Amino acid sequence: KMQDPNADTEWNDILRRKGILPPKEKPDDEEEEEQQVIQQSVVKTYEEMTLDELHENEDEFSEEDERAMEMYRQKRLAEWKANQMKNVFGEVKEISGQDYIEEVNKAGQGIWVVLHLYKQGIPLCSLINQHLTVLARKFPQTKFLKSISTTCIPNYPDRNLPTIFVYLEGEMKAQFIGPLLFGGMNLKVEELEWMLAEPGAVKTDLEENPRKQIEDKLMSSIRCSLPTQKDGDSDDD
């Protein structure tokens, strides 16, 4: 059925604004409509303003605008806060295998996820969990997770622990498997930060790999004390 073009429906208002329906026929409404246009232009200007600009232009608005603006300002502020909160993690969350899809694959757009597979009673795993707690606070935009290895991956071999997987939007970007890769119990929190920064999981302020400095010192002292070996003597592990 045809809608009455003069009916005060939101849809008709939209059609009128787009020029599809003629303006309302009542002569009194012309004035009202003009008023609306003026109001709309004011709304337009302050809706496009940042919080700072709203503050600067306070004097130019009428009392009614002031009220609308205050509501708008509060809305803007609430949106901003929600946005800030949304991507702040700040701690290492314990997950089980069932949580994996939700926590890792559905982490959200642009969210880096660091997952540590560990077991109780392995000292290096405990050390890494301590380091990750520090890094989770330092990099709250990154999602840090830990999971007991066999609850996440059935029959996952203990010799592969600790294991860290790094994901972005459900896709694996890096994996660190086994104690050798972490350098054993000498692992410093800065070294772990550097390892996670390389694939992009955290935005580090470290200038260079802290472990490289240690390795360089170590290598030069080994070189000094070793008799020269023929090439090709190295045994594969």
Tens of pLDDT along 194-234? 999 999 999 998 888 887 766 666 666 677 666 655 555 55
pLDDT attached to residue 188: 94
Q: Which residue has the higher pLDDT, 207 or 188?
A: 188
pLDDT attached to residue 17: 79
pLDDT at 137 over 80: yes
Identify whether the C-beta of residue 118 lies closer than 8 Å to the C-beta of residue 146: yes
Identify whether the C-beta of residue 162 lies closer than 8 Å to the C-beta of residue 152: no
pLDDT grade, residue 23 (50/70/90)?
Answer: confident
Averaged pLDDT, 80-106: 82
pLDDT at 42 over 60: no
Averaged pLDDT, 28-51: 63
Taking the domains of the chain in order of start, what are their residue ranges?
93-198
CA atoms within 13 A on the CB side of 177: 8
Site of tokens 């939007």: 169
Averaged pLDDT, 161-181: 94
Tokens linked to 53: 């600009």
Q: Are strands 92-94 and 143-148 parallel, antiparallel or unpaired?
A: parallel
Q: Which CATH code for domain 93-198?
A: 3.40.30.10
Q: How far apart are CA 211 and CA 237, in angstroms?
A: 22
pLDDT attached to residue 194: 94
Indicate left, alpha or beta for 113 from its phi (over 0: left) and psi (-120 to 50: alpha): beta
Identify whether the C-beta of residue 128 lies closer than 8 Å to the C-beta of residue 182: yes
Least confident of 74-83, 134-143, 163-172, 173-182: 74-83
pLDDT attached to residue 120: 94
On average, the pLDDT of the chain sits at 80
